[in-house]
Every structure is written in C-alpha cells, then in structure tokens.
Chain A
C-alpha cells in the first residue's frame, strides 16, 4: 500500500529518502523565517492601526532592487543586507509621513486603497528603472548557495542556514525590543489604545512612524535574504507577500507569535509541496495549493489559529 502511495509523489517519499525530507524541511524553515519576517511586518502595522499594508511586498522589492544596483557598484554583500534593512527603515518612515498620515482616521477602505496605490506606483517605477535587459537578475549572497553545511541529518546550503540564523536573531531582537524596553512598551500601548497613550505623554504620531519604519525595515531585510533564492524580478516579492499574508492570517492577524509560527509552517509546507506534489499537479501549483490549504484552515478558524476574535458591540 505504501508503495502505491509512494509512486504518487514527484520525489521519493520521506520513508524512502529521509535525507531529502530533512533537507526540504530545513530549507523550508529558512524560507519560512523570511515569510515570518514579512508576516511580522504586516502584523506590526495591523495591530496598531487596523491597516493591512498591501504595499509591503513592493516596498521590499524596491529596496532589494536598489541594493542590487549598489551591488553592481561593488558594495560588499554583508553590507548590502544591513543597508537593505536601513533603507527599508527610511522608506517606511517616509511612506508613513507622506502617504499614510494624511489619511489617518479616514474610512479604512480609503487607507487600503492608498496602500494599493502605493503598490501600483512602486511596481511600476521599479519595472521602469530596473527591469531592463535580462530578467531575472541574480542577487548576491554573502555565503554560497551551492556549498552546503552538513547538519548531520541533512545537507543544507550555507545561505539557507544564514537566512534562518539571521531571521531568528532578528525575531529575538524584536521580541526583546517590545517586551523589555520602554520604547517597546510605548509601542505596545499605542497599538492597544492610542487615546490613552497620548494621555501618557506618548507621541502617538512618532510611534506610528516608528512602526511603519520597523515594518519596512523587516521587509527590506527579508527581500535581501530571499532574493538569492528566488532571483530578482519585479514580481519576485509578490509570492513572498502572499505567503507572508498566509502566514500572518494563519497565525491570526493580530498575533505576533502567530505570525512567526505561521511563517515557519508556511515555509515548510510550501517546500514540501514543491518537492512532493504528484506529477499531474506539478510543482508550479505549490502557490495555489498552499493558499488553498490556508483558506481551508480559515474556514475552520476564521481568525487564524492564534487570532483573537474581535468583540463586536451590538
């Protein structure tokens, strides 16, 4: 019976080739940490403002392309990764001040539309500036994508290990920021109750700007980390964004730990689907399939696994 089941898949099933399974899981965790970073970015903004930043992916795409230009100019790759995060921080702050601030407090649909407008602008400008010549472009990695690290049960590329390590480190740093610093406390307070926060003397506007800056910084970092794997083209963050949305939604849009767990889960599922999907479906279908799985989960738990159901006053 297992034999028949085994022939269904594209690749040798786990019980025949545990090494492959292990590798795909670890690789999935690595890409998953990137999805988690972007999911965190989304949740960060959503928690404090009830806004879903649909332009998140395009902002990251923009910074990553900018980094690619710098790379062509000869900048060191490790520096590029740091710069990507910094540029993201700046971009986020500017976007909040210039584009989002004027529509704060307006109907939510209007604000969503503003982020969608931003999406279109960034998409269009990036295509104009960078999508010349050969596509997709290769994005450099400080470590190698080919040389692998032997983890005992699997061999995974150096880059994947680095991505996982950096991702986890950043998440830990964020957690520390939010839970153990005065600023983090102020940000949490602002997210929960902006009126009361103002009465504490917290400059809510600055907190919001900071939130957007952090969020875009996470996006920029994520873009630089995953670009070497997915290659660089104007639509490369689109699927990442979608997976990140899936992760955020899976974990519950206002749950930070949920976003992290969701990210890793989606990363692993996506990778496994890409490896093991039967032929008649094909590996390209891993995106629709992952999303289908997400929708199925949502049907069972409409606000995500860790999400809290908002209380509606009637």
Chain B
C-alpha cells in the first residue's frame, strides 16, 4: 500500500473511533490509540522499503522532538542544539558497538545493541545535566545562541579527537540482527522498524506519565512564571535542570536507535540544519504536545521527500528534490507559521474546541468580518505559546503580548 493511503486510513479509522459512538465514551481515547498501534504494527508488511525506512526515521526523530518539546514546549527553555545530544547518543552507541575504538579501560568488544541505546541515553542525560546548570543563568535569546554554539562546536570536537570517534570519516558498525525468536519471521528492515516502534512507544508512555504528574506540572509552572512557581515553593533550578536532563536523555536514546537503523555515523549525521529542523518541527507540529512532536517529526521526513517532489513537478524543476529539499522545508515552515502561528496542533485544538454557538455568529458576520479584521475564530490555544523566552523591557503588559500595533489590527486591552 502507498504511504498516503495508509496514513489516511490509519488516521481516519482511529479518528472515527475517537469521535463516533463506536465504543463507550470512557474507552474512546484508549481505543483510538490501540487502533493507531495496530496500524503501526501492520505497516512493515504493507509499505515498501523506502517508506519503511522513512517510518523508522520518523520514530527516531519523534523521540528527539519529544525531548526537545519537553524542554522547550513544556519548560520554556529554547534549545537549538538538540542535534548535538542526539549525535552524542549516536556516537556513544556507535563507539560501544564498534568494539575497536574505545578507551582502554573499557573492554574492547562490542556491546549488545540494546545496552548501547540505554548507555547512549545515559551519556546524553549526563551531558544535559551538566549543561542544565549554566543554562540556568541564560535566558531566551542567550540560551538559544549558546545552544546554537554547542551544535556547531560539537562536530569540530568530534573531528579533532579522532582516535575515539573515527574523525571525519566516522564509524561504521554492523546493525543488530533480529533476535533468535524472531529470526525467519522478520527481515532486518522490519525488525529494526519494530525496534524503533517499541522504543518509541515505551518512551512516549514514560513521557506521558511524567508530564501529567507533578514533575510535568512543575515544568509548566516554571515555564509560565518562574517567580510565581518559586513563590509556590517549587525549586526552579532543580526543575529546569531536570528538564534539560530528561530532554537530553530522550535525544540520546533517539541517537542510539538512530545508530541501529543507519549502521554508521559521521560528524555530519545530525547537523545544524537538522537541529534547526527539530525546533521548527515541534513549533509547527505543536508545542507542549506529544502528538505535536510526532507530527513535527513526520513533517521533517515527508516534506523533503514528498512535498519537494510535488513542488518540483509543479514548477518543473526536478533538481529541487535532490539538490535543495531544504528550500522546500524552510519555505513550508515559513508558510505554516504565517498561516497557523500556533502550529498545526494548535490549529487543530482550536478547531476541536469550537462549539456551534460560538461559530454561528462568526459565520453570519463573515462577509463583514473577513473584510478588515479577518476571521476571528474563538477557541482556546495552548498556553505554551505564552512562553516568555525573552524578558520584556519595561512596560507592564498584562496580556503578555507585545504592544506593537499593526495598522488596522487590535491591541492588548487598556
């Protein structure tokens, strides 16, 4: 089956289960998720190899995006450098699996792949922990710039210390074969896909549990107002460092799994553009939203391949697909933000929270409304968007918005 019919079917059926009275109310969410999972398990047997590989990548990127979302969406710390954590995870896994390029105190033999994933996560978590402390002192733009510096510097360091890292050539290592009890049932691609799926499901469950608990609530409290959170007795520093650590752990695990599915790593495996894409991905997909992270990751993978091809065909420039897929990616990002400043998940949430009583008057007033002020859709938007990454200068601003007037636009209240 082609990927798009597959996705349409998957989302369609799970959507129907979610909304329609097929299942009793209290089980609907669970049921729709079960349907999603079922489809995902079916995927490797119905999609072709290329698409399967893309799904693997989506799974891995979704984990990184989820980690980044924990840090930026839920905790309000902007990081442009999550690619570095992911790359660190990939290299850790690669070094441990390679068996030849290791420091002398470690046994020079290959570690089992699943162990390397865990260690990859752990090493990245330690890095996140260490970086979380200086990050406390940096806010908004300063933090963004510092993380940008990190992701640009990291490959330089990797290239320099080539005895450990294989330098500019990177490392190649054997991908793990399917475990004995699955041998013969699945080929390598399918097995790796299920590895990604299993890891992703586990990590998502962990994240979901974490984020709805006290830790997650503390994240959000600190994001919305550090001062208020501190006044409530939250240890702001601890929360922020924890966010960094957890988010780095996710990126590290993603990196470890990434190593498994690619079998090689170079300093460019996760580069600055990719790092940027992670951030833009979660913003487009949806901040402070697990689903948004997955959507963002999917966009990251599908836009360069499919959208680029469509645009290329439309414009008659085939070379865009191969030579400059990033151009389509970037343009897509810009377009989406212009049209949906709160991301896709934000727009979806807005649509879903609409009720008829609120929409009807808007529809009635449509001809006049569209003229000057544009369509005002009522509906709530995630508070993640009130992130105050930058400290405001001077003036008190109760709505938290910038007081720049657009011509003909509307301002914050008096």
Contacts and interface: CB of A to CB of B under 8 A. Distances in A.
Decide if A and B touch, CB cutoff 8 A: yes
B325 A114 contact: no
Contacts of A189: none
Interface in A284-299: 284-285, 287-288, 291, 294-295, 298-299
B146 interface: yes
Interface stretch (B95-103, B137-145, B197-205): B137-145
A264 B364 CA distance: 61
A105 B333 contact: no
Q: Indicate the member of A114, A123, A302 with the most B CB atoms within 10 Å.
A: A114
A246 B149 contact: yes
> Nearest 8 CB-CB pairs, A to B?
A124-B326, A121-B330, A117-B333, A120-B330, A310-B391, A128-B324, A288-B153, A313-B396
Interface string B262-285: 000000000011001101100110
Given A104-B404, A113-B337, A121-B329, 17 more contacts: A105-B401, A107-B342, A107-B386, A109-B387, A113-B283, A114-B337, A116-B279, A119-B273, A123-B273, A128-B324, A195-B404, A198-B405, A246-B145, A298-B134, A303-B142, A309-B391, A313-B396
Nearest to A300: B137
Interface residues on A, range: 35 or more
A104 B406 contact: yes
B276 A119 contact: yes
A46 B72 CA distance: 21
Given A107-B387, A128-B324, A195-B405, A52 B141 contact: yes
Contacts of A314: 227
Interface residues of B, dominant DSSP: helix
Contact of B337 (A117, A121, A195): A117
B389 A109 contact: yes
A151 interface: no
12 contacts: A50-B402, A103-B337, A106-B341, A109-B389, A110-B342, A120-B330, A121-B334, A128-B323, A287-B153, A291-B150, A302-B138, A309-B391
Contact of B134 (A50, A249, A299): A299
Interface of B: 72, 78, 80, 134, 137-139, 141-142, 144-146, 148-150, 152-153, 156-157, 159-160, 227, 272-273, 276-277, 279-280, 283-284, 287, 319-320, 323-327, 329-334, 337-338, 341-342, 385-387, 389-397, 401-407, 409, 411
A59 to B, nearest CB: 13
A282 B159 CA distance: 11
Contacts of B319: 128
Contacts of A103: 337-338, 341
Q: Indicate the member of A50, A284, A294, A313 with the most B CB atoms within 10 Å.
A: A50
Nearest to B139: A302
A169 to B, nearest CB: 28
A239 interface: yes
Given A109-B283, A113-B284, A242-B149, A120 B391 contact: no
Nearest to A46: B141
Contact of B327 (A104, A128, A299): A128
A285 B156 contact: yes
Q: Indicate the member of A238, A253, A312, A314 with the most B CB atoms within 10 Å.
A: A312
Contacts of A291: 146, 149-150, 153
Contacts of B145: 52, 245-246, 249
